[in-house]
Amino acid sequence: MTDHQQPQQPYYPPQPPRPPYDPTQPVTTEPGTTIWPSGGHVPPSGGHVPPTFTPPAPPAPAPAAPLPHRRAKRGVGLLAAVAIAAAAVGGGTATLVQQLTADDAPTASGVSGTNVSASSKGTVAGVAQAVSPSIVEISANSSSGKSTGSGVIITGDGEIVTNNHVISGASSIAVQLSNGKTYRAKVVGTDPDKDLALIKLEGASGLKAATLGNSDDVKVGDEVVAIGSPEGLTGTVTSGIVSALDRDVTVAKDDGQDQQRQQQYDPRQGWPFEFGGQEFNGDTGSSKTTYKAIQTDASLNPGNSGGALINMNGEIIGINSAMYSPSSSNGSSAGSVGLGFAIPVNTLKADLDELRDGGTN
């Protein structure tokens, strides 16, 4: 009798349950062939994938998070990791993060003092906008009448530089800002030899001070802007170029004592001065002083005295002090003809401490 054996059933070892998410690491079979569980990679043609046994699939897991979202998280983690590594080798995290995010970071430029903003640099409009708040109109009353000039704010609490001849002999001084606000002012110091004066507003604060430049850097042909109050027209802006340097200009040394000469002086004719042995705009009198001046063809008229001559960076390079205004046939002033003179700002800076101490008078 022959025993009949039952066919042996194949043995399948127990399989672990399928994870509820796809593995994140690739599985490598043979050299050159990689199978990505996410299904995002297709093996190149001709590649061999050995057969495998796949147990019955469990119920479908919840869908994984969208791939772009996972990439974004990896990017943030990468940035943080790189930043930490940079900090470990030299404290450069902030610089590195700034470079990596430069495309999305906003940019901004600021203005310091009266410097012109980057977007308006080199334009008359930009200079006027930046510096006009630092230029004032000065009205001085004296026994001989009222005179009008200009001045430049140099400190936030109201120190103002002007020409000595604008305030000389004044019994009262009123100053009007570019915004129309008016202050009373007192004389701090004067220097008739340089035709400079320093006055101080009473009760002022938070004013916009001008930036004083370097007149040694000025060259013939440089573009300039003049701001002042010619004929009482507050905040008038004109422009031109530097026509010459180191002009020996002679002006009356007005110390406030020669009242008779002041009464004969007609401010509508412009401030009298001499150049090359000739007198312009009237008699300069017997007491006079000479200084080196910047010559400009920017239009200056009576009332511009004490105002600012400005470079295209918004820096003060001179204090306007004299101009030539030829007389018309009826004896009145015919206006500016492009011959103006300014005291170099370096002369002012060298004299400023002395003016604050009361000056030379």
Q: Which segment of 227-231, 282-286, 305-309 scores lowest on mean pLDDT?
A: 282-286
Closest to 154 measured CA to CA, from 221, 201, 111: 201
Which among 139, 165, 258, 351 is annotated as catalytic?
Answer: 165
Q: For the segment 162-216, what is each residue's pLDDT rounded down to a tens digit?
A: 999 899 889 999 999 999 999 999 999 999 999 999 999 999 999 999 999 999 9
Per the annotation, the verdict on 195 as an active-site residue is yes
How many angstroms separate the CA atoms of 21 and 114, rounded?
64
Proportion of the chain in helix, strand, coil states, percent, rounded to 5: 20, 30, 50
Per the annotation, the verdict on 103 as an active-site residue is no
- Provide the token pair at 218: 């000025």
Q: How confident is the model at residue 15 (pLDDT cuts 50, 70, 90)?
A: low
Task: Answer yes or no: is pLDDT of 353 > 50.
Answer: yes
C-beta neighbour count of 33 within 10 angstroms: 15
**Which of the residue ranges 22-26, 194-198, 249-253 has the most confident prediction, judged by mean pLDDT?**
194-198
**What pLDDT sits at residue 324?**
81
| Residue with the larger pLDDT of the pair 125 and 96 | 125
3-state DSSP assignment of residue 339: coil
DSSP string covering 121-176: TT-HHHHHHHHGGGEEEEEEEETTEEEEEEEEE-STT-EEEE-HHHHTT-SEEEEE
Q: Which amino acid is at 329?
A: S
Cα angle 14-19-25, degrees, rounded to a multiple of 5: 115
Which among 134, 139, 305, 336 is annotated as catalytic?
Answer: 305
What is the average pLDDT across 153-160?
97
3-state DSSP assignment of residue 239: strand
State what percent of residues in the chain have pLDDT above 90.
43
214-230 residues labelled b (16+ CB within 10 A) or e (exposed) = ebeebeeeebbbbbbbb
Long-range CB contacts for residues 325-332, cutoff 8 Å, separation at least 24:
325/269, 325/270, 325/280, 325/281, 325/301, 327/269, 332/268
Question: What distances in angstroms separate CA 326 from CA 264, 297, 307, 339, one per listed residue?
Answer: 18, 15, 21, 10
| Residue with the larger pLDDT of the pair 337 and 345 | 345
Q: For the segment 282-293, what is each residue's pLDDT rounded down to a tens digit?
A: 677 778 888 999
Q: How confident is the model at residue 111 (pLDDT cuts 50, 70, 90)?
A: very low
Instruction: Name the pairing type of β-strands 236-252 and 278-280.
Output: unpaired
What residues does 278 pair with on adjacent strands? 275
Per the annotation, the verdict on 216 as an active-site residue is no
How many angstroms separate the CA atoms of 169 and 255, rounded?
7
Q: How confident is the model at residue 38 (pLDDT cuts 50, 70, 90)?
A: very low
**What pLDDT sits at residue 149?**
93
Kindly report the pTM of this predicted structure: 0.64
What is the average pLDDT across 271-299?
81
Closest to 237 measured CA to CA, from 227, 246, 229, 245: 227
How many angstroms separate the CA atoms of 124 and 223, rounded?
9
Which among 132, 139, 168, 195 is annotated as catalytic?
Answer: 195
- H or E element at residue 83: helix 67-90
